[in-house]
Amino acid sequence: MFALDAIMQRLRQGCQTMAYPDGSPPPLPDRHGGSLRVDRSKCEPGCDACIRICPTAAITRTPDISLDLGRCIFCSDCVKTCPPGAITHTGKHSMSTRNRGDLLLGPSGQEEVRLAKALDDSLRRLFGRSLRLRQVSAGGCNACEADTNVLGTIGWDLGRFGIQFVASPRHADGLFITGPVTKNMQLALRKTYDAVPAPKLVIATGACAIAGGPFVDLPEVLNGATSILPVDLYIPGCPPHPITILDGLLTLLGRLPPDRIP
């Protein structure tokens, strides 16, 4: 009787998993704003309001304004403070990159993030349909971990793409790193990486794992995963929205529809 009730309830509820990437992604919350854009033509010479207010020194002038999305915690203070509106939100959830330099806005006229490209054909044949990741929290606050855990719920169902998190690095294809990599976690992270069989991937998720986040340059941290490991994918945010994380993973594996490939 219980089994019949469960089946009937399931039929009444219908499918609870989002259609993305075949359908539209879920909307970002109003307070999020998505990725950022820098329009240097609007930047007023001598105005450093955004530089002074940035809590992670993600904005510099060399000599033009440069915004590092890898260090950015997306607090929006710069957007609110910039008098001419040179820094704005784009509303876009896609912002993952393969190269650290692609997260730098401003230099060479780059106004928006250069999005990640998929792995090469040989690696996609290995990982494209079945990717196992070992998550390592290297001193983070658990915000990135919480948004990552959302992907395992029925609404997101990460497993339908063949992507799973595993307990042992020996069963993994790569590492999914969060946190600024504290000195206390340096050895553990290195040993975990060494235990993953080759070829292997490294994914740095969140501002902390990319560049130290709000803990940048503190003596107890190493300012992110790149300090000790090669990184194959950077997913910015503080924390990254689950749709940003999912979009980055699917882009890396070449699993997005052709019209959505960056």
* Domains, in order of start, for the chain: 1-262 (3.40.50.12280)
Are the CB atoms for 116 and 231 separated by under 8 Å?
Answer: no
Indicate the pLDDT class of residue 106, thresholds 50, 70 and 90.
confident
Q: Please state, in angstroms and rounded to a whole number, the distance separating the CA atoms of residues 81 and 62.
A: 20
Average pLDDT, the chain: 91
pTM metric for this prediction: 0.92
Q: What is the pLDDT of residues 123-170, one digit of tens each?
A: 999 998 899 999 999 998 999 999 999 999 999 999 999 999 999 999
Tell the burial category of 85 from Cβ atoms under 10 Å away from its Cβ (0-12, 13-18, 19+).
Answer: exposed
Q: What is the pLDDT of residues 174-220, one digit of tens each?
A: 999 999 999 999 999 999 999 999 999 999 999 999 999 999 999 99
What is the reported pLDDT for 152?
94
Q: How high is the pLDDT of residue 117? A: 93
**Which segments within the chain are labelled E, that is strand?**
36-38, 59-61, 65-68, 87-89, 104-105, 131-137, 163-165, 174-178, 201-205, 233-235
Mean pLDDT, residues 44-59 taken together: 90
The band of 2, judged by pLDDT with boundaries at 50, 70 and 90, is: low
Confidence of residue 260 (pLDDT cuts 50, 70, 90): low
Q: What is the pLDDT of residues 212-232, one digit of tens each?
A: 999 999 999 999 999 999 999
pLDDT at 232: 97
Bond from prior residue into 107 cis (ω within 30 degrees of 0): no
Least confident of 33-37, 58-62, 87-91, 130-134: 58-62
